[in-house]
Structure 1
Amino acid sequence: MRAGALLLALTAAADAPEAVYSAPAQHRLVEGVATDGATIWLSSVLDRNILVRRAGAVTNIAMPAGTLHPLGMAWDAQRKWLWVATDCPDLPGVAKCDSGALVALDRKGRLKAKLSAGPGFHPGDVSAAGGAVFVSDGLNGAVYRLNGGTLDPLIAPGVARSAQGTALTADGQHLVVADYGRGVATVDLKTKVRTLLPMADGKPLRGLDGLVRVGADYYAIHNGSSPGSLIRFRITGAQIDVTVVQRGTLLADPTQLTHDGNRLLVVADAGWPAASKPDQPPRGSNTLVAFRLP
């Protein structure tokens, strides 16, 4: 059964979200979002820019020389750095590469760190919490933890299928991983033991992309079917209890999300169809929307 079909059996209800920002047409593909509570960063993939929104004004930061296209992002409150997963997505006009890198930028866009897990490393999502930084590889399912100046594999390449968003548990002992093909899992940060967490009916929740934890709740983007959904789940024992928060045309092409303490910020219409197929219509108006947290 497709992941989308699983979600159709769930009940959805939520207040209408707030439109926050619509990217200009030249930023045809917006993938990642991060915030420190006051500034919002968005990754403009094709033109290798970071859009910076603060106090209603938007400026651009060009990716430093020697870096690739920005994808998922996370703000590191301890280091005051913006971590960016960079790679060469398979899109028209994007040159192929052997591997990508996890890079860190300061507020002015200056390169502070650039790390790779080796040949064939293609990072897509990154999370940061309490000084810990994690990056996932959507092509081979691997997940890595920043360890000094290296990336330590928590899930080795080939064990999972397509690792996407990650979120540290409240106690800091486990990492929750959304694997697009295998479902939700936890990884024990001491032993590196990976445990798959099915839904109450025993089936995995596939098709998840971005992931963030707010208290005891985990919010995730489900884009395994169109339109997409914003879902919420809690971990109960060895399973997850899932609720659909929002589903519908507003989430035409959702990808990543983060939170500023009061709101979930969701890239609601990234623009992948138009970027992948030039004959597709352009992205809609609401690039970034916000949902009030309960």
Structure 2
Amino acid sequence: MRLPLLFIRVRPLLVLGAGLLAACSGGAAPDDAATGRKVSRPALPAAFSLPAPGLIAEGLAYDPAGHALYVSTVRGQTIYRLPANGTLRRFSRPADSLSGVFGLAIDTVRGYLWAATGPVPHLARPGAAAPGVALVRYPLAGGPPRRFPVPADGRPHLLGDVLPAPDGTVYATDSRTPVLYRLRPGQLHPEPWLNDSLFYSLQGLALLPGARTLLLADYHRGVLAVELATGRVRALTPPPTDKLRGLDGLCHIGPTTLLATRNGTAPNRLLRVTLDTVAGAVRAATPLSTGPLPDLTLGTVAAGRFYYIGRSGWAEFDEQGRPLPGVAPAPARVGSILLPAR
């Protein structure tokens, strides 16, 4: 989650599994069972802009069943939907009364879009009702959303990213008070499940196969591994030349490969992160070639490409959400690259 500094709270390792479950949905076109050839699917544009300036785009998610990409906005307090071969349109409704919308994720098993939401000074409608910090669930087939608010406990909270697991449990990271939240089926509120001394500024998430181990991006620590059965947390050993600070989003693209967005260092980068599954370490973090990424946030895998928000709009506002003098707001921009080798 890309936020001004005001909002960022400034042993033996786990042996990792051989593959990853999708924190980001999508991927290459499926094979035709009879011919082995790739099945064509409706096309998404390689790049596009949001419909108005100053919205502050933050999260992306892809629904492979509906062939649609979803984009969240913080200042706009809106979720947009871009269907393949279609037009970008508003998905959420004003009646939903969303706060700022941060991370998005698709539960492909149950047909839900999950959104991490919360108020910040940057909201375009500060005088309007801005609900508190919550997970919001939308049925992809249609119908009203359902809110799962984070209970007030006297501490500041802001859910920056969200990830549904195969069993229906939803995990979310808190970027103000470093806590890993968990919402199990049937619960009405996310519970502050895990608070570990290694947590500093939690960001993106990805699950290892079998849904037993959760990877977390931490702005200061790099990549952390959480054993879900015990709550045990370990920091993955970084490469010798890179401490992996400033990571934001995580997406898997192969058995031992992640794509990460990095916006806590200059310049902003997309990284190909290779895991050493035996040693419990990050073997390499390789920058990928892209155009300038002046204001990078999160990304997702969709139809053989990695989509990312390269110009989000955070840089156009100060920490109090006020437009910076002399800076003309521009529409947020989503770009993409072909998936690199896995």
> TM-score scaled by structure 1?
0.84
Looking at structure 2, the residues matched to 109 and 121 of structure 1 have their Cα atoms a distance apart, in angstroms, of 28
> Could you tell me how far 1:133 is from its partner in structure 2?
1.9
* Correspondences of 1:1-294 after superposition (within 5 Å): 19-26=46-53, 28-37=55-64, 38-54=67-83, 55-60=85-90, 61-62=92-93, 64-91=95-122, 95=126, 99-107=132-140, 108=142, 110-119=144-153, 120-130=156-166, 131-148=168-185, 149=187, 150-156=189-195, 160-201=199-240, 204-216=243-255, 217-236=257-276, 237-246=279-288, 249-276=291-318, 277-279=323-325, 280-283=327-330, 287-293=333-339, 294=341
- AA matched with 2:338: R
- Structure 2 residue runs of 5 or longer lacking an equivalent are 1-44
SS of the equivalent of 2:317 reads helix
Task: Supply the distance in 1 between the matched residues of 2:63 and 2:131 (Cα, whole angstroms).
Answer: 32
Distance, in Å, in 1 between the alignment partners of 2:137 and 2:329 is 30
TM-fit CA distance, 1:160: 1.1
Check conservation: 2:76, 2:124, Cα contact below 8 A.
no
Indicate the RMSD between aligned Cα atoms, in angstroms.
2.6
Separation of aligned partners in 2, 1:62 and 1:95 = 17
Kept after mapping to 2: 8 A contact 1:270/1:283: no
The 3 A distance-change label for structure 1 pair 122 and 144 is same
Q: Output the CA distance in 2 between the equivalents of 1:154 and 1:234.
A: 28
> Which is further off, 50-59 or 84-93?
84-93
Distance 1:255 1:185 in 2: 19
The unaligned stretches of length 5 or more in structure 1 are 1-17
SS class of match (1:22): strand
- TM superposition shift of 1:170: 2.2
Does structure 1 conserve the Cα–Cα contact (< 8 Å) formed by 2:159 and 2:173? yes
Letter in 2 for 1:112: R
Partner of 2:31: none
> Who wins on radius of gyration, i.e. which is larger?
2
Cα displacement (A) at 1:145: 2.2
- Aligned partners of 1:227 and 1:253 also within 8 Å: no
Q: CA deviation at 1:129?
A: 3.9
The structure with higher relative contact order (CA 8 Å, sep 6+) is: 2
Q: Distance in 2 between matches of 1:92 and 1:41?
A: 19
Give the Cα separation in 2 of the matches to 1:98 and 1:58.
26
**Percent of residue pairs identical:** 27
Q: Hey, what's the Cα distance between the residues in 2 that align with 1:133 and 1:111?
A: 16
Q: Which moved more, 1:172-181 or 1:218-227?
A: 218-227
Q: Kindly indicate which of the two structures has a greater share of residues assigned to strand.
A: 1
Question: Compared with structure 1, are the counterparts of its residues 104 and 92 closer, same or farther at alpha carbon in structure 2 (3 Å cutoff)?
Answer: closer
Equivalenced residues, count: 276
Instruction: Please tell me whether the aligned partners of residues 54 and 329 of structure 2 are also in contact (alpha carbons under 8 angstroms).
Output: no
Shift of 1:267: 1.1
Q: TM-score by structure 2 length?
A: 0.73
Q: 1:262, 1:242 → 2: CA distance?
A: 22
Q: Name the counterpart of 1:7.
A: none
8 Å Cα contact 2:218-2:224 kept in structure 1: yes
How big is each residue's C-alpha offset from its partner over 1:42-74, in whole Å with a ceiling of 9 and x where there is no partner?
A: 012212111110132121123544531111111
